[in-house]
Amino acid sequence: MNKKVAFYTLGCKLNFSETSTIARDFSKEGFDRVDFSEKADIYVINTCSVTENADKRFKTIVKQAQKNNENAFVAAVGCYAQLKPQELADVHGVDLVLGATEKFKITDYLNDLSKNDFGEVHSCEIEEADFYVGSYSIGDRTRAFLKVQDGCDYKCTYCTIPLARGISRSDTMTNVLKNAREISEQNIKEIVLTGVNIGDYGKGEFGNKKHEHTFLDLVTELDKVDGIERLRISSIEPNLLKNETIDLVSKSRAFVPHFHVPLQSGSNEILKKMKRRYMRELYVDRVSKIKEVMPHACIGVDVIVGFPGETDELFLETYNFLSTLDISYLHVFTYSERDNTEAVDMDGVVPNNVRSKRSKMLRGLSVKKRRAFYESQLGTQRTVLFESENKEGYIHGFTENYVKVKTPWNPELVNTLHEVVLTEIDDDGLVRFDFAEVLNNI
């Protein structure tokens, strides 16, 4: 009988792509992959450290693994494992903790899988995380996450990612295109490009800082890969989202009109304290450019509430800024103190109850923004890629510009693309539609 391995991933799309790559390494070593809820010989938890909440969830997940099999070997990898390896190793039940460079060699660290009295730590100095490991995820049949870049050279005062992942470095163009072709050969219709700071693509492609390629070069070449129906850019910094890239997406064969552009604050005063590399005026310019060439484009925004020094007036500046901006939805993050960041020592700490209230206000604004965007798309013809899950008798899907739709469950629709006309917004906020091919035959 082959030994069984199960995986749990916390955090971002990048983590999912890396978990998938690690899982393929286990398969090559003769392990059978099972669901995390099942009994396994080894449980691998890929950790995240962007928020305090992700840290707290780790203990709960370890307990879940032990409940499934109290004798199982438990390994922790990823960002939190790099930042606070001993903290994870001290959690009851954890046998192995691997940092940023070691996680891709996890099978080398597995001996007889016998439980350790104490968690064993293998974690490098983050300066050693200067080489690139390519990865992509294949799990959900309809889309894959393709990692093109890792690490970050920015010094945002709230962020631990550079400490957890090291310097900015990129996959080679050749390898990205090879991975994209491998994905397309597996009947996957959509690829989401992912990384820590993907607009910085090109830096470190050959282990040094010179730029042989840029992000624009990357998207230009990916657009030519046969067999990929859709390409989506996961998240890109506003200062790295150039007009040329926006223009390319607007004319592209495969890239969809959907941008996720972190803002973090609508107050220039707070942006300076965060050490972001732009002011709000540049953000307005980026949104205007996207809407000018793609009026139907979906624009998502990351925003942080409760950063030190964010007074009621500065928060309202952000709220009003976002209210007037032609965007489609928000991802709202409540600021949480992270060790070894500049922000943790700043004055003007915002009480947690105030952070929570501000978060609720922006989440409410996000609901309004998404509703308004969906309403603007009613009556238009779009292409939907259908997902693989039966959710309470319905199948869901996304249009190219990220409108979420629903229709009664039909397994024949799974992983297929269809032209539809968006007709109405349902009570749950999702959009109903008519199949365009049916309408055309009437």
Measured between alpha carbons, how far is 18 from 7 in angstroms, rounded to an integer? 11
Q: Which residue from 131, 138, 134 is spatially nearest to 192, judged by alpha carbons?
A: 138
Q: What is the pLDDT of residue 191?
A: 94
Q: By the 8 A CB rule, do 204 and 168 touch?
A: yes
The candidate with the shortest Cα–Cα distance to 316, out of 354, 272, 259, is 354
Rounded to whole angstroms, what are the CA distances from 150 to 104, 130, 161?
14, 10, 10
Q: Are 422 and 399 in contact (CB under 8 A)?
A: yes
Say how many C-beta atoms besides its own lie within 10 A of residue 73's C-beta.
24
The pTM score is 0.86
Rounded CA-CA distance 200/78 in Å is: 21
Q: Per residue of the chain (442 residues), give pLDDT as tens.
A: 789 999 999 887 888 888 998 998 899 989 999 999 999 999 999 998 766 676 678 889 999 999 999 999 999 998 888 888 888 888 889 999 998 878 888 888 876 566 666 677 776 565 665 666 677 777 656 789 999 998 899 999 999 888 888 889 899 999 999 999 999 998 899 999 999 999 999 987 776 666 689 999 999 999 999 889 999 998 999 999 999 999 999 999 999 999 999 999 999 999 999 999 999 999 999 999 999 999 999 999 999 999 999 999 999 999 999 999 999 999 999 999 988 999 999 999 999 999 999 999 999 999 999 999 999 999 999 999 999 889 999 999 999 999 999 999 999 999 999 999 999 999 999 999 999 976 555 4
Q: How far apart are CA 14 and CA 145, in angstroms?
A: 7
How far is it, in rounded angstroms, from Cα 392 to Cα 28? 37
Residue for token digits 């103190």?
337
3-state secondary structure 169-228: EECCHHHHHHHHHHHHCCCCCEEEEECCCHHHCCCCCCCCCCCCCCHHHHHHHHCCCCCC
- Determine the residue type at 439: L
What pLDDT is recorded for position 54? 65
Alpha-carbon distance of 204 to 171, in angstroms, equals 8
Assess contact for 126 and 160: CB atoms under 8 A: no
What is the reported pLDDT for 175? 93
CB atoms within 10 A of CB 217: 14
Query: Which residue, chain included where needed, has tokens 């390629």?
Result: 213
Q: Where is 377: in which H helix or E strand?
A: helix 352-377
Amino acid at 203: K
Amino acid present at 276: R
pLDDT of residue 121: 79
- Non-local CB neighbours of 120 within 8 Å, separated by 6+ positions: 89, 95, 96, 97, 109
Are residues 45 and 61 in contact, defined by beta-carbon separation less than 8 angstroms?
Answer: yes
Cβ-based neighbours of 156, under 8 Å, separated by 6 or more: 264, 274, 275, 276
Q: Which pLDDT belongs to residue 208?
A: 60
Scan for tokens 């889309």, then name that residue: 143
Q: 308: closest CA among 340, 277, 352?
A: 352
| Residue 104 vs residues 25, 46, 269, 401: alpha-carbon distances, Å | 8, 11, 40, 34
